[in-house]
Amino acid sequence: MAKITHTTTEQSFCYHTILLIEDDKRLSAVIAEYLEKQGLQVEVEYRGDTAVQRILTLQPDLVILDLMLPGLDGLTVCQEVRSQYNKPILMLTAKDEDIDQIVGLELGADDYVIKPVQPRILLARIRSLLRRSQTTKVTTIASSTPQKQYHFGALKINDSERTVTLHQQAITLTTIEFDLLWFLATHAGEILSRDVIFSALSGIEYDGLDRSVDIRISRLRKLLEVEPSDPKGIKTVRGKGYLFVTTGWEQDD
């Protein structure tokens, strides 16, 4: 386990533990060395069949999870740990594994980075996920802060408790799915472009290629809409973006 003594990086990210699960030992060494130079503490795991227990035992601040692993693939690892591990999971995926990117987000991954890995992009995504995770902790701990919540018909969103209920039934969302829903609700009635949503959630400029916003919108519709193919609450405005409709959520009986 690397001991970090760097003083030139952002202090708020020092001492965060990253578990890197990657079977390519050369690549994992390059990534680990780069991240350690940025003030992050990195643990490395090379196999999928031992990764599940390692994640649950270590409970790192963030997991970087490769899709193709010996013993157990990354998608299965993600699915198996999600109910017991609520911190960010960042998946590594190859360019020709578009379907796996979608499935990964469906199974609870918070973000993905396409191989070959660009270190600065990887670091930006990690920092964004850690910021979001830290914000969640502060919000949860600060119980004296008045609750922030929205109530649209049968849909209730509570930012302080990070909970969503629909028709009085709890809806389980990942951290980034909740952040997306909260952002849309906060800007209800406004058409938000993919660029604006991506930048607001990730903290980095949209590159014009990333599909994660579309995938997560689709995921929210499956969880919240009566007819996901004909959404009433989160609508697509062709050529412009997405619109959260306050009247699109059926009232409780």
Q: 183: which residues sit within 8 A by CB, 6+ positions away? A: 192, 197, 200, 201
Percent of the chain past pLDDT 70, that is, above it, reads 84
Per-residue model confidence (pLDDT) at position 12: 46
Give pTM, 2 decimals: 0.61
Mean pLDDT for 199-221 is: 81
Highest mean pLDDT among 64-73, 81-90, 175-184: 64-73
Look at 108 and 166; give whichever has higher pLDDT.
166
Fold category of 11-139 in CATH: Rossmann fold (3.40.50)
Domain ranges of the chain: 11-139, 146-244
**Which residues are bridge partners to 213 per DSSP?**
none
Per-residue model confidence (pLDDT) at position 241: 93
pLDDT in tens, 12-35: 455 789 999 999 999 999 999 999
CATH of range 146-244; options 1.20.1250.20, 1.10.10.10, 2.60.120.310, 3.30.70.120: 1.10.10.10
Q: Treating both helix axes as pointing N-terminal to C-terminal, what angle do 25-37 and 119-141 enclose, rounded to 10 degrees?
A: 60
Q: 123: which residues sit within 8 A by CB, 6+ positions away? A: 34, 35, 38
Taking the C-alpha atoms of residue 185 and residue 179, their distance in angstroms, rounded to an integer, is 10
Taking the C-alpha atoms of residue 249 and residue 165, their distance in angstroms, rounded to an integer, is 12
Highest mean pLDDT among 1-10, 89-98, 230-239: 230-239
Per-residue model confidence (pLDDT) at position 248: 92
- pLDDT averaged over every residue in the chain: 83
Comparing 67-76, 99-108, 136-145, 189-198, the range with the smallest average pLDDT is 136-145
Q: Is the dihedral of CA 133, 135, 136, 142 positive or negative?
A: positive
Tell me the Cα Rg of the chain.
19
Comparing 2-16, 30-44, 174-188, the range with the smallest average pLDDT is 2-16
* 146, 200, 238 from 176: Cα distances, Å: 22, 11, 24
